[in-house]
Amino acid sequence: MSQKPFLTDVQTLRKRARQHIDEGAVTAGYEADRETVLKLLNDSLATEIVCVLRYRRHHFMAKGPASKSIADEFLVHSNEEQGHADQIAERIVQLGGEPNFAPDGLVSRSHAEYVEGTSLEDMIKEDLVAERIAIDSYREIIQYLGEKDPTTRRMMEGILAVEEEHADDMADLLGGMSAKT
Ligand SMILES: [Fe+2]
Ligand SMILES: [Fe+2]
């Protein structure tokens, strides 16, 4: 033990792992405040679900000569947001919580908003705004998690990177549209 001052010895690790086995992936070494992390993750789950629904609505409602490829892109984003929702729900369960899929209160739990938008340009703008909100709130969550829960942090970093791509895609579409008018 004295040769490895930074590592917990195997016996202690094994003993700890056997205690509270019902806590699943949450071990005694888990340093974050679990309740807070679960709350943050459920809010993020609501954000993702709202984004799934908003992009899907936009996919079906996109009209006009330039709309086909944009409608396709909305669908791609909607499906990616669904993937994020699934990742987050899975992590919530790993941490011993329950993913909240209740439609009641969904919008108030979500960081981003559900805005239908009338024109194609409106839709893209609203999607860009929603992505920017998600980016800011996920960045804060990542900072909060820091070294306390690196697994959740890495997951959120992966999701954040995709939201940044989404925002970039929407900004490009918006730029393309204003160039034409
Ligand atoms: Fe997402
Ligand atoms: Fe996104």
Is 163 marked as binding a ligand?
Answer: yes
Q: What pLDDT is recorded for position 29? A: 83
Ligand 2 center to 161 CA (angstroms): 9
Q: Taking a C-beta distance cutoff of 8 angstroms, is the pair 134, 47 a contact?
A: yes
Give the C-alpha separation, 114 to 166, whole Å: 16
Q: Which ligand is nearest to the CA of 127?
A: 2
Residue 149 pLDDT exceeds 60:
yes
Residues 33-70: pLDDT tens digits? 999 999 999 999 999 999 999 999 999 999 877 789 99
pTM for the model:
0.87
Tell me whether residue 48 is annotated as binding.
yes
Q: What pLDDT does 1 receive?
A: 41
The pLDDT value recorded for residue 47 is: 96
Which CATH superfamily hosts domain 33-180? Ferritin, core subunit, four-helix bundle (1.20.1260.10)
Where, residue-wise, is CATH 1.20.1260.10 in the chain?
33-180
Query: What is residue 180's predicted lDDT score, i.e. its pLDDT?
Result: 64
* Residue reference for tokens 């005694």: 28
